[in-house]
C-alpha cells in the first residue's frame, strides 16, 4: 500500500515537473490529430461500396470484397515478393552506403566536405519522372548513352535494356541508392556530429588510430539511429516508391516480372476503374501489414536493446 | 492497453465529427428536391395566371431573390484544359455572368482545371460537397462517375423536359438513349463527331513527293481523302524508306483497335468485344481474331523492314510530336471532316491523309464523356438551365469556347474567327483548346480555315455512318469484376507491347498474350459482359 | 599520422566518384534542357547535342502563369514552413525524448502510428476543406501533410536521447532550472546538427511539394508554387502523351508544347535556386541557432 502511494505521489510530482513539456508537445499533437487522426475513420471506406449520394458512412457494406483483387490472381505472389525483396535490399544497401559515406564526410578535414555534401544531396531534389528520363537517356535502345557510346567503345553489341529483365533488379537498386544516399547520409552525419569530440580525443591519446576510432566509437554510437531508421523502413515494407517502379522502367511490360509491385499493380487497375473503396482497401492492407511487422520488429529490439526500441 | 484506449478515443471523436458532416450532405441532397417540387406546384398554378412557363418562372424567382439579397445564385461548371486555369478566367466569368444574370438570373463560373489534375480534383470536390454543379466526365469517365453516385438523374421530376427542353432540339433522342445507364439518363453527350473514319494513314506530303509516290492513281472518298489499301501503304512505305533511309517511317501508338478497326469495345474495354458490331451481339476475344492477327503480322513485317523505331516501346512522345520533330514520316489516326487541317497543324508540316478503313460508330462513341449534373447540386433547376444555355445560346457557347470577342478573337466577314491582333495560342488569356468536349462547339463561331458549315458536315457524317454498332447505348458496370479487370490490365500491359509493335513473331507473341489474359480471368470477364449485354438487348 | 593522411586521400577519392555519379546525370539534364526539341527526339539525350535552343526556357517563362511569382510563393512558403515545422517538430520530439515523462510511450506510439496509417485522400481533403476551409488559401499549401512529419520527430527524438547526456540535464534541473529553461539554454545549443538537418528536410519538403497545390489550389493560380506550376505542366504533358491513343484529340494539345527539352528545363528551373542559395542559407542558419541558444 505504502509503495503504491509513494509511486502515485511521485507520478503526480513527475507530471507537475513535466507540465511545460506537455505544453510543448501540444501543438504537434493537435496537428497530428487534425492531419492524421481526424481522417482516419475514412478507412471504413475499404469495407464499403462508395456512393456519393449516401456519403462515406452511409454507403453499403460489402465486407472484404474490395480486398479481393489484391489476392485473387497468381500476380498476388509476384507483386508481394517484389515489394518485400526490393525493400529488404534497399534497407541493407542504403544503410551500409549511407553510414559509410557519413563517416567519411564526418572525418574529413578538408573544407571541400561541404561541397561534397551538397552535390550528393542533389539527386534527391529531382523528381522520379525526371530521373526516369535521365535513365532513359542512358539506356534507350536506339539513342541511349550506354548503347551508343559506352558499349560501342567496349566493342560490345548494344543491349535492349528495356526488354531484358535480368538487369533491372540491379538498375533499380542503383537508381534508388543514387537518389536517396545523400539524404540518408545527412541523418547519420548529424548523429556523428552530435558525438562529444572529447571521446575521440581521449581515444586518440590512448593511441587508437582512425579505423579503430571509427569501429569502437562511431559505429556503436550510430547503432540506435540505424536501428530506428530500419524499424521505420520496416513499417513501410509493403509500400514501394511508385515513381521508381512505374516511371523508371517506363511501365515496360517485358519487365513486369521484376518491376511490378503492389503499388504499380493497383495503379494499373484503378486508373480506369476509379474506385475509391478499392484504393482505400489497398492502402489499409499495406498499412496493416507494415504495422504488424513494425510491432514485431520493435518487440524483438526491445528484448535485446531496449534503449533503441521505438516505444 | 492504455495505448489502445487512447487510439480508440481519438477514433470515436472523429467518427462523431464525420457523422455530422454526412448528415449535412444528406440535407443538401434533399433540399433541391423540395424546392423543385415547390416550384413546379407553383408553376402549374401560374399557368392559368400570367402564363409564365415553369422555366421562366424559375428565372423570375431567382431574379427576385437576387434583387432581395443583392447577390445572384451561382452555378459552377467544371471541365479541363491543357494548361490549367487560363489567365483571363475571371474576366470571362464576369462577362458570362453579366449575360446570364439577364437571361437566366444566375452567375456562371467556369472552373477550368488542367487535364492531369482534373480527375483527382473533380473526384475530391464531388465527394466532399464542394460546389460543382455541372461537369464534363471527360477525364474521370462517365461510368466511373455514375458508379460512384456523383451524377443526378436528369429526368427526375421532369427536370430535363421542363427546364432543358431546348436540348431536345440539338441532341437527337437516340443519342440521349445512348447515355442511359440502367434506363436512367445521367448525362447529355457533347455534340461532336461520334463516327470515325477508321485507319486514316497520315503521311508527310514532302516525304511522299520525295519518294515519288503518284497520288493520281488513288480515288477520293466522301471526306476528300485518298482511298487506298494496306498493300498501297506497304508500297509507299517501302519507297519512303528507300528515299529517306535515316528517318523512321512509322510513328507508333497503341491505337490499332481504337482508331484502326471497327471492333466495338463494348463496356469501355477490349476484354470481350463485338467483332461484327453491325450484325451480331456475340462477345468474343479480339486478341484471338484474324483481324488482330493481321495487324500484328503487318507490324511484324514493318518492324523487320526497319520502319519502326527500336524505342517504340519506351518512347512516350505523342505520334504527331515525333513527326513534328522531323525524325518520323507517317502515323495512323482516324479521320473526320476537316481532319487534314488539324493533323497538318499537329505535325507542323502538310500531311496527306489516306483512307484505308471504313466509317464506324461504336457503342460507346456517344456516351464516352457526357456532361453531368452533380447529385449534390443545391439548385438542379438553375444548373439544368445553364446546361441548356451552353448547348443552345451562342453568346454563352462563344464565351465558354473562345473567350471574349475583341480581346481573344475577332470575327471575320464570313462569321469565322481568328486571333485578335497580337494574340496567339501562347499568350492568349483564354484558350482552353478543348472544343471537342464542350457541350456544343457548333453553337459557337468556327475558326478561320474550317468550313463554316462544319457543324452540318459533322452531323451528316454521323448520320451517314453505315456501320453503326448494334450495341449503341449499351453501358456496363464492371465494378463486380474489378479483380479480373485489374489482372487483365496488368496482363495486357505485360505482353501486348512487343507483339503489337512487331518486336516478336505474332505466332508466339499472340499465344503468350492470350494465355496471360485467360489466366487473368478473361473467360469469366467475357461471360459477365455477354450476360449483361443479353439482358440489355432483351429490354 | 600516416594513416590519417591515407584516410583523407581515400575519403576524397570515394567522394569524388560519388559526386561524379551525382553530377553526370545532372549535366545531362542541363544539356538536354538547352537542346533543340526536334534534335532531342531525333537523336536522343546527349552531352554534346548538335543543335542548341533556349526555346524550352522561353516556353516556361512566357506561357500562362508567371514563374517568377511562383518563385516568390515558393520562397515565402519554404521559409515560413521551415520555421513552423522546425518549431513544432523540436518541441514534440523533445517532449517524447524524456524517459521519465508519464505518457511518453503513448505519445511516441501516436507519432509512429500516424506514420503508418492514413485515412485516405478524400477524408483528409474533407477535413481541410469542410472543417478548416483551407482550400484556395496559402494555408492550404502550408498545413496539410507537411507541417509535422513523424519521421523527423523520431529522428530528432533519437538524437536527443543519444547525444544529449542526461547528466547535464539533471544537473541543470538540480540547479533549479525549469524544463523550459533547460530546453532553451542547454538542449538547443547542443542540437545544432539535428536542427540543421531537420530544417533542411522540412525545407526540401516544402520546396519540392506540389501535391498540396495540386489538390487545394483549384482557382487562385497566383498561389502556385514553382514545383506546383512545373509539375502541372509536366503532368499535363505526361497525361497527353500517354493517353493520346485514348483521348482522340490529345494530340491537339500536345502539338503546342516542346516536349522533351521542356521537362528537363523544368527540372533545372526547379532545383537551380537551391544549389545557388543553399550554402548561404545553411551558413546563416547555423549562426542563427547558435545566437538563439546564447540568448535563451
Looking at the structure, do residues B177 and B232 belong to the same domain, yes or no? no
Q: How far is CA A238 from CA A89, A261, A289, C181, in A?
A: 13, 9, 7, 43
Looking at residue C258, its pLDDT comes to: 59
CB B81 within 8 A of CB B430: no
- On whether residue B41 sits in a domain, the answer given is no
Average pLDDT over residues C155-175: 87
- On whether residue C49 sits in a domain, the answer given is no
**φ and ψ at A178, to 5 degrees?**
-55, -40
Does position A3 have pLDDT exceeding 60, yes or no?
A: no
For chain B, counts of helices (H) and of strands (E): 19, 17
Interface list for A 44-103 with C (CB within 8 A) = 45, 56, 101
Reported ipTM:
0.89
- C-alpha cell recorded at residue A237: 515494407
- On whether residue B404 sits in a domain, the answer given is yes
The pLDDT profile of chain B, 539 residues, written as one tens digit per residue, is 444 444 444 444 444 444 444 333 344 433 343 444 444 444 444 444 567 899 999 999 999 999 999 999 999 999 998 778 888 999 999 999 999 999 999 999 999 998 888 988 999 999 888 899 999 998 888 888 988 899 999 999 899 999 999 999 999 888 898 888 888 999 999 998 888 888 999 999 999 999 999 999 999 988 889 999 999 999 999 999 999 998 999 998 888 888 888 999 888 889 999 999 989 999 999 999 999 999 999 999 999 999 999 888 887 777 887 888 788 999 998 888 878 887 887 788 899 999 999 888 888 888 889 999 999 999 999 999 999 999 999 999 999 999 999 999 999 999 899 889 988 776 788 988 788 899 999 999 998 878 888 888 889 888 888 888 888 878 788 888 888 999 999 999 999 988 999 999 999 999 999 999 999 999 999 999 999 999 988 87
Mutation pick from A119, A150, A223, A294 vs chain C, by most beta carbons of C within 10 Å, is A119
Q: The CATH number of the domain where A213 resides is what?
A: 1.10.3720.10
Average pLDDT over residues A45-50: 91
- All residues of chain A having their beta carbon less than 8 Å from the beta carbon of residue C201 are 183
**Of B471, B494, B511, the domain-final residue:** B471
- A267 close contact with C: CB closer than 8 A: no
The Cα–Cα gap between B512 and B507 comes to 9
CB B450 within 8 A of CB B436: no
- The pTM assigned to this predicted structure is 0.86
- On whether residue B24 sits in a domain, the answer given is no
Average pLDDT over residues C11-26: 94
Looking at the structure, do residues B467 and B534 belong to the same domain, yes or no? no
Instruction: Kindly give, in sequence order, each residue whose CB lies less than 8 Å from that of residue B178, ignoring residues fewer than 6 positions away.
Output: B189, B363, B366, B367, B472, B473
- B451 close contact with A: CB closer than 8 A: no
If you write DSSP's letter for every residue of B5-68 in order, what string do you get? HHHHHHHHHHHHHHHHHHHHHHHHHHHHHHHHHHHHHHHHHHHHTT---HHHHHHHHHHHHHHH
Does position C113 have pLDDT exceeding 80, yes or no?
A: yes
Q: The CATH number of the domain where C208 resides is what?
A: 1.10.3720.10
- On whether residue B40 sits in a domain, the answer given is no
Interface list for C 239-268 with B (CB within 8 A) = 239-242, 244-257, 259-260
Looking at the structure, do residues B99 and B174 belong to the same domain, yes or no? yes
Looking at the structure, do residues B201 and B301 belong to the same domain, yes or no? yes
* Residue B221 three-state SS: coil
- C-alpha cell recorded at residue B97: 455572368
- On whether residue C113 sits in a domain, the answer given is yes
CB A161 within 8 A of CB A167: yes
CB C96 within 8 A of CB A30: no
Does position A301 have pLDDT exceeding 90, yes or no?
A: yes
A&C contacts, CB < 8 Å:
284
**Of B305, B336, B360, the domain-final residue:** B360
Q: How far is CA C243 from CA B196, C220, C236, in A?
A: 18, 27, 10
- C-alpha cell recorded at residue B234: 506497304
If you write DSSP's letter for every residue of chain C in order, what string do you get? -HHHHHHHHHHHHHHHHHHHHHHHHHHHHHHHHTB-HHHHHHH---SS-SSB--HHHHHHHHSSS-HHHHHHHHHHHHHHHHHHHHHHHHHHHHHHH-TTSTTHHHHHHHHHHHHH----HHHHHHIIIIIS--TTSHHHHHSTTTS--HHHHHHHHHHHHHHS-HHHHHHHHHTT--HHHHIIIIIHHHTHHHHHHHHHHHHHHHHH--HHHHHH-SS-GGG--HHHHHHHHHHHHHHHHHSTTTSTTHHHHHTTS--HHHHHHHHHHHHHHHHHHHHHHHHHHHHHHHHHHHH-
The Cα–Cα gap between C92 and C87 comes to 9
Q: How far is CA A295 from CA A225, A285, A309, B531, in A?
A: 18, 15, 10, 48
- C-alpha cell recorded at residue C12: 576524397
- On whether residue B408 sits in a domain, the answer given is yes
**Of B338, B360, B382, the domain-final residue:** B360
Looking at the structure, do residues B204 and B343 belong to the same domain, yes or no? yes
Q: Render pLDDT for A90-149 as a digit per residue (tens, 0 to 9).
A: 999 999 999 999 999 998 888 888 889 888 988 998 888 789 888 988 888 877 888 888
The Cα–Cα gap between C201 and A190 comes to 12
Looking at residue B31, its pLDDT comes to: 38
Highest mean pLDDT among A267-276, A288-297, B214-223: A288-297
Q: Nearest chain A Cα to B15, which residue?
A: A41
Average pLDDT over residues A193-219: 88
Looking at residue C93, its pLDDT comes to: 95
Instruction: Kindly give, in sequence order, each residue whose CB lies less than 8 Å from that of residue B406, ignoring residues fewer than 6 positions away.
Output: B420
- All residues of chain C having their beta carbon less than 8 Å from the beta carbon of residue A127 are 208, 231, 267
* Residue A257 to chain C, least CA–CA distance (Å): 22
Q: Residue C255 — pLDDT band, cuts 50, 70, 90?
A: low
- C-alpha cell recorded at residue B220: 477520293
Q: Is C64 in Cβ contact with B83 (below 8 Å)?
A: yes
Looking at the structure, do residues B208 and B339 belong to the same domain, yes or no? yes
Q: The CATH number of the domain where B100 resides is what?
A: 3.40.190.10
Looking at the structure, do residues B143 and B224 belong to the same domain, yes or no? no
The tally of domains found in chain C comes to: 1
- On whether residue B372 sits in a domain, the answer given is yes
Q: Is B117 in Cβ contact with C110 (below 8 Å)?
A: no
Q: Which of A81-90, B100-109, C238-247 has the lowest mean pLDDT?
A: C238-247
Closest among C193, C226, C192 to C207, alpha carbons compared: C226
Looking at the structure, do residues B182 and B69 belong to the same domain, yes or no? yes
- B319 close contact with C: CB closer than 8 A: yes
| H-only helix segments in chain A | 2-17, 19-32, 55-58, 68-71, 75-107, 112-125, 128-139, 145, 151-153, 168-193, 197-205, 210-213, 219-235, 242, 256-259, 262-273, 276-304
- Give the residue numbers spanning the domain of C213: 65-257
Looking at the structure, do residues B200 and B346 belong to the same domain, yes or no? yes
Looking at residue B16, its pLDDT comes to: 44
Burial A246-279 (b: 16+ CB within 10 A, else e): bbbbbbbbbbbebbbbbbbbbbbbbebbbbbbbb
Looking at residue B29, its pLDDT comes to: 38
- On whether residue B102 sits in a domain, the answer given is yes
- All residues of chain B having their beta carbon less than 8 Å from the beta carbon of residue A50 are 127, 148-149
- Give the residue numbers spanning the domain of A303: 2-308
Q: Is B127 in Cβ contact with A272 (below 8 Å)?
A: no
Looking at the structure, do residues B133 and B201 belong to the same domain, yes or no? no
- Give the residue numbers spanning the domain of B80: 50-191+366-471
Looking at residue B10, its pLDDT comes to: 47
The tally of domains found in chain B comes to: 3
- On whether residue B27 sits in a domain, the answer given is no
Mutation pick from A273, A276, A311 vs chain B, by most beta carbons of B within 10 Å, is A273
Higher per-residue pLDDT: C66 or C207: C207
**Which element (helix H / strand E) includes B69?**
helix B54-69
- All residues of chain C having their beta carbon less than 8 Å from the beta carbon of residue B138 are 247
Does position A273 have pLDDT exceeding 80, yes or no?
A: no
The Cα–Cα gap between B534 and B433 comes to 40
* DSSP annotation of B181: E
The tally of domains found in chain A comes to: 1
* Residue A301 to chain B, least CA–CA distance (Å): 19
- All residues of chain A having their beta carbon less than 8 Å from the beta carbon of residue C109 are 311
CB B275 within 8 A of CB B284: yes
Looking at residue B28, its pLDDT comes to: 40
Closest among B503, B310, B218, B413 to A136, alpha carbons compared: B310
Looking at the partner chain, which of B2, B123, B342 has a beta carbon nearest the beta carbon of C252?
B342
* Residue C40 to chain A, least CA–CA distance (Å): 10
Q: Residue C132 — pLDDT band, cuts 50, 70, 90?
A: very high
- B313 close contact with C: CB closer than 8 A: no
Closest among B99, B122, B102 to B111, alpha carbons compared: B122
Q: Is B259 in Cβ contact with C63 (below 8 Å)?
A: no
Looking at the partner chain, which of B314, B479, B503 has a beta carbon nearest the beta carbon of A275?
B479
- All residues of chain A having their beta carbon less than 8 Å from the beta carbon of residue B483 are 68-69, 72-73
Helix axes C192-208, C226-242, angle to 10 degrees: 50
Amino acid at each position: 500500500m505504502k509503495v503504491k502511494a509513494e509511486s502515485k505521489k511521485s507520478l503526480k510530482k513527475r507530471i507537475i515537473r513535466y507540465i511545460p513539456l506537455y505544453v510543448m508537445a501540444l501543438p504537434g499533437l493537435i496537428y497530428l490529430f487534425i492531419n492524421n487522426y481526424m481522417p482516419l475513420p475514412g478507412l471504413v471506406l475499404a469495407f464499403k461500396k462508395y456512393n456519393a449520394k449516401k456519403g462515406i458512412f452511409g454507403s453499403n457494406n460489402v465486407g472484404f470484397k474490395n480486398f479481393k483483387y489484391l489476392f485473387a490472381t497468381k500476380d498476388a505472389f509476384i507483386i508481394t515478393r517484389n515489394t518485400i525483396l526490393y525493400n529488404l535490399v534497399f534497407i541493407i544497401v542504403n544503410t551500409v552506403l549511407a553510414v559509410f559515406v557519413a563517416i567519411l564526410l564526418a572525418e574529413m578535414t578538408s573544407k571541400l566536405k561541404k561541397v561534397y555534401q551538397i552535390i550528393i544531396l542533389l539527386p534527391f531534389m529531382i523528381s522520379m519522372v525526371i530521373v526516369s528520363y535521365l535513365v532513359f537517356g542512358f539506356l534507350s535502345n536506339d539513342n541511349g548513352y550506354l548503347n551508343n557510346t559506352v558499349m560501342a567503345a567496349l566493342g560490345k553489341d548494344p543491349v535492349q535494356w528495356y526488354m531484358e529483365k535480368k538487369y533491372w533488379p540491379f538498375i533499380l537498386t542503383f537508381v534508388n541508392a543514387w537518389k536517396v544516399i545523400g539524404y540518408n547520409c545527412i541523418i547519420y552525419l548529424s548523429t556523428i556530429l552530435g558525438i562529444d569530440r572529447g571521446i575521440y580525443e581521449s581515444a586518440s591519446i590512448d593511441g587508437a588510430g582512425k579505423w579503430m576510432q571509427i569501429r569502437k566509437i562511431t559505429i556503436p554510437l550510430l547503432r540506435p539511429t540505424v536501428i530506428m531508421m530500419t524499424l521505420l523502413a520496416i513499417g513501410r515494407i509493403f509500400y514501394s516508391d511508385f515513381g521508381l517502379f512505374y516511371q523508371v522502367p517506363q511501365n515496360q511490360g517485358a519487365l513486369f516480372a521484376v518491376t511490378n509491385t503492389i503499388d504499380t499493380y493497383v495503379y494499373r487497375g484503378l486508373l480506369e476503374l476509379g474506385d475509391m473503396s478499392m484504393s482505400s482497401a489497398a492502402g489499409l492492407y499495406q498499412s496493416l501489414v507494415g504495422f504488424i511487422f513494425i510491432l514485431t520488429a520493435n518487440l524483438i529490439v526491445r528484448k535485446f536493446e531496449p534503449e533503441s526500441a521505438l516505444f | 492497453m492504455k495505448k489502445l484506449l487512447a487510439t480508440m478515443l481519438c477514433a470515436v471523436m472523429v467518427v462523431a465529427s464525420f457523422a455530422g458532416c454526412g448528415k449535412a450532405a444528406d440535407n443538401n441532397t434533399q433540399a433541391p428536391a423540395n424546392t423543385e417540387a415547390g416550384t413546379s406546384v407553383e408553376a402549374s398554378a401560374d399557368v392559368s395566371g400570367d402564363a409564365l412557363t415553369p422555366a421562366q418562372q424559375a428565372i423570375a424567382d431567382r431574379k427576385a431573390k437576387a434583387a432581395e439579397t443583392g447577390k445572384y445564385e451561382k452555378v459552377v461548371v467544371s471541365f479541363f484544359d491543357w494548361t490549367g486555369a487560363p489567365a483571363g478566367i475571371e474576366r470571362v466569368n464576369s462577362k458570362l455572368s453579366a449575360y446570364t444574370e439577364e437571361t437566366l438570373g444566375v452567375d456562371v463560373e467556369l472552373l477550368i482545371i488542367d487535364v492531369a489534375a482534373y480527375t483527382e480534383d473533380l473526384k475530391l470536390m464531388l465527394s466532399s460537397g464542394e460546389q460543382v454543379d455541372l461537369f464534363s466526365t471527360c477525364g474521370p469517365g462517365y461510368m466511373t462517375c455514375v458508379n460512384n453516385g456523383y451524377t443526378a438523374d436528369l429526368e427526375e421530376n421532369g427536370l430535363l423536359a421542363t427546364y432543358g427542353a431546348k436540348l431536345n432540339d440539338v441532341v437527337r433522342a437516340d443519342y440521349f438513349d445512348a447515355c442511359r445507364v440502367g434506363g436512367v439518363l445521367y448525362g447529355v453527350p457533347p455534340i461532336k463527331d461520334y463516327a470515325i473514319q477508321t485507319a486514316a494513314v497520315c503521311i508527310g506530303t514532302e516525304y511522299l513527293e520525295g519518294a515519288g509516290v503518284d497520288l493520281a492513281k488513288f480515288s477520293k472518298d466522301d471526306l476528300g481523302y485518298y482511298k487506298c489499301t494496306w498493300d498501297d501503304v506497304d508500297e509507299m512505305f517501302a519507297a519512303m524508306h528507300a528515299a529517306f533511309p535515316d528517318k523512321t517511317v512509322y510513328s507508333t501508338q497503341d491505337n490499332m483497335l481504337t482508331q484502326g478497326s471497327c471492333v466495338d469495345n463494348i463496356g469501355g474495354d477490349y476484354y470481350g468485344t463485338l467483332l461484327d458490331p453491325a450484325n451480331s451481339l456475340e462477345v468474343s476475344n479480339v486478341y484471338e481474331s484474324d483481324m488482330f492477327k493481321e495487324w500484328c503480322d503487318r507490324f511484324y513485317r514493318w518492324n523487320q523492314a526497319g520502319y519502326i523505331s527500336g524505342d517504340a516501346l519506351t518512347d512516350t512522345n505523342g505520334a504527331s510530336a515525333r513527326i513534328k520533330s522531323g525524325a518520323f514520316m507517317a502515323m495512323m489516326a482516324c479521320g473526320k471532316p476537316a481532319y487534314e487541317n488539324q493533323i497538318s497543324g499537329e505535325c507542323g508540316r502538310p500531311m496527306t491523309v489516306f483512307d484505308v478503313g471504313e466509317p464506324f460508330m461504336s457503342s460507346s462513341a456517344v456516351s464516352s464523356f457526357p456532361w453531368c449534373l452533380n447529385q449534390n447540386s443545391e439548385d438542379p433547376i438553375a444548373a439544368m438551365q445553364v446546361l441548356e444555355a451552353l448547348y443552345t445560346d451562342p453568346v454563352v457557347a462563344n464565351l465558354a469556347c473562345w473567350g471574349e470577342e475583341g480581346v481573344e478573337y475577332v470575327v471575320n466577314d464570313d462569321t469565322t474567327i481568328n486571333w485578335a491582333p497580337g494574340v496567339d495560342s501562347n499568350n492568349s488569356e483564354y484558350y482552353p483548346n478543348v472544343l471537342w468536349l464542350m457541350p456544343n462547339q457548333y453553337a459557337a463561331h468556327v475558326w478561320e480555315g474550317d468550313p463554316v458549315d462544319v457543324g452540318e458536315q459533322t452531323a451528316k457524317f454521323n448520320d451517314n455512318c453505315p456501320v453503326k454498332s448494334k450495341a449503341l447505348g449499351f453501358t456496363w458496370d464492371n465494378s463486380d469484376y474489378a479483380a479480373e479487370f485489374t489482372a487483365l490490365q496488368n496482363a495486357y500491359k505485360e505482353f501486348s507491347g512487343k507483339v503489337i509493335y512487331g518486336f516478336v513473331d505474332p505466332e508466339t507473341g499472340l499465344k503468350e498474350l492470350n494465355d496471360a489474359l485467360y489466366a487473368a480471368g478473361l473467360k469469366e470477364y467475357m461471360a459477365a459482359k455477354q450476360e449483361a449485354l443479353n439482358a440489355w438487348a432483351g429490354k | 599520422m600516416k594513416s590519417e593522411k591515407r584516410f583523407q586521400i581515400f575519403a576524397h577519392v570515394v567522394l569524388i566518384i560519388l559526386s561524379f555519379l551525382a553530377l553526370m546525370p545532372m549535366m545531362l539534364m542541363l544539356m538536354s534542357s538547352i537542346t533543340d526539341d526536334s534534335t532531342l527526339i531525333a537523336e536522343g539525350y546527349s552531352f554534346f547535342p548538335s543543335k542548341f535552343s533556349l526555346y524550352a526556357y522561353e516556353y516556361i517563362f512566357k506561357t500562362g502563369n508567371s514563374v517568377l511569382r511562383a518563385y516568390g510563393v515558393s520562397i515565402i512558403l519554404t521559409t515560413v514552413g521551415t520555421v513552423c515545422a522546425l518549431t513544432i517538430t523540436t518541441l514534440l520530439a523533445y517532449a517524447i525524448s524524456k524517459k521519465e515523462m508519464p505518457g511518453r510511450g503513448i505519445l511516441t506510439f501516436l507519432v509512429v502510428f500516424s506514420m503508418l496509417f492514413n485515412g485516405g485522400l478524400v477524408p483528409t481533403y474533407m477535413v481541410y476543406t469542410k472543417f478548416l476551409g483551407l482550400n484556395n488559401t496559402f494555408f492550404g499549401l502550408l498545413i496539410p501533410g507537411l507541417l509535422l512529419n513523424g519521421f523527423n520527430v523520431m529522428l530528432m527524438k533519437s538524437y536527443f536521447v543519444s547525444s544529449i547526456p542526461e547528466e547535464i540535464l539533471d544537473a541543470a534541473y538540480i540547479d533549479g532550472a525549469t524544463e523550459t529553461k533547460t530546453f532553451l539554454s542547454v538542449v538547443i545549443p547542443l542540437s545544432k546538427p539535428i536542427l540543421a538537418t531537420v530544417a533542411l528536410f522540412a525545407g526540401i519538403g516544402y520546396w519540392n511539394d506540389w501535391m498540396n497545390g495540386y489538390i487545394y489550389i483549384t482557382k487562385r493560380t497566383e498561389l502556385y508554387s514553382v514545383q506546383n506550376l512545373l509539375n502541372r505542366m509536366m503532368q499535363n504533358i505526361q497525361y497527353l502523351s500517354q493517353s493520346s491513343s485514348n483521348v482522340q484529340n490529345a494530340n491537339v494539345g500536345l502539338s503546342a508544347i516542346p516536349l522533351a527539352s521542356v521537362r528537363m528545363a523544368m527540372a533545372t528551373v526547379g532545383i537551380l535556386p537551391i544549389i545557388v542559395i543553399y550554402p548561404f542559407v545553411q551558413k546563416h542558419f547555423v549562426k542563427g541557432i547558435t545566437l538563439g541558444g546564447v540568448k535563451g
